[in-house]
Amino acid sequence: MEPTGVEPIKTLAMRLSGFPGIGMKTALRLAYHVLEMSEESARGLAEAIINAKEKIHLCKRCGAYTDSELCSVCSDKTRDHSLVCVVAEPKDVLSMERMREYKGVYHVLGGTISPIDGVGPNDLRIKELSQRVDDEHILEVVIATNPDVEGEATSSYIVRLLKPKGIRITRIAHGIPMGGNLEYIDEMTLYKAIEGRRDI
């Protein structure tokens, strides 16, 4: 759908419709909101976009988003640096941190192995993970890639690579989500839940 209207509104709506989950109709609604904003708010939003893009890069050690050389987790001496959680994307670190219970550090792969998209192990920060296990005093690696085909393949690859190094390698648990209902849970999740059952 082509937005009707004046050129600068069209242009803005087109740009906004590039966001995930934002169609042209929502994009137009957002563009109108920009017009109704104060001059100051609009300028603040534009600056926040530029700022985020310019200041944020990946942590030299773990690959998470940061505005310094090392991210706040890697530079935190009170975290357990012998426990490394492996995630696919930088934003996954923020999801994990939201939980506030994990006390280890991270390693971000920058994606998952996906032959269809032409992503192999060498396109990910897997070598760097292996190097960290060799160089740093790491006792356990917990793999937290998503439980889909690519995530599982990536997990298997890492397990095979790190197993010979004699450290503990774990995978986050899969099962019924809290508040979930057995009636609506798919068979695969149910199977994982039974398989991963624990003594109480």
State which of positions 59-78 bind its own copies (CB under 8 A): 65-67, 71-72
Nearer to its own copies, 1 or 178 (CB): 1
Give bridge partners of residue 58 from the DSSP assignment. 65
Minimum distance from residue 33 beta carbon to its own copies (Å): 5
Interface residue with its own copies among 24, 34, 167, 172 (CB under 8 A) is 34
From the list 5, 23, 180, 196, which residue makes contact with its own copies (rule: CB under 8 A)? 5
Give the residue, chosen from 46, 139, 188, 190, that forms a contact with its own copies under the rule CB under 8 A: 46
Q: Give CA–CA dist 146/174, Å, rounded.
A: 10
Smallest gap from residue 147 Cβ to its own copies (A): 20
* Span near its own copies by CB under 8 A; candidates 20-28, 113-121, 132-140, 165-173: 20-28
Considering the complex, state which of residue 100 and residue 198 has its C-beta at the smaller distance from its own copies: 100
Number of chain residues interacting with its own copies (CB under 8 A)? 52
Tell me, letter by letter, the H, E, C secondary structure of the chain. CCCCCCHHHHHHHHHHCCCCCCCHHHHHHHHHHHHHCCHHHHHHHHHHHHHHHHHCEECCCCCCEECCCCCCCCCCCCCEEEEEEEECCHHHHHHHHHCCCCCEEEEECCCCCEHHHCECHHHCCHHHHHHHHHHCCCCEEEECCCCCHHHHHHHHHHHHHHHHHCCEEEECCCCCCCCCCHHHCCHHHHHHHHHCCCCC
CA distance 154 to 124: 10
**For the window 83-122, what string marks contact with its own copies as x by the rule CB under 8 A?**
-------xx--x--xx------------------------
Pairwise CA distance, residues 163 & 168, whole Å: 8
Q: Please identify, using beta-carbon distances, which residue of 102 and 162 lies nearer to its own copies.
A: 102
Shorter beta-carbon distance to its own copies: residue 41 or 156: 41
What residues make contact with its own copies under the rule CB under 8 A?
3-9, 11-12, 15-16, 18-22, 26, 28-35, 37, 39, 41-53, 55-56, 65-67, 71-72, 90-91, 94, 97-98
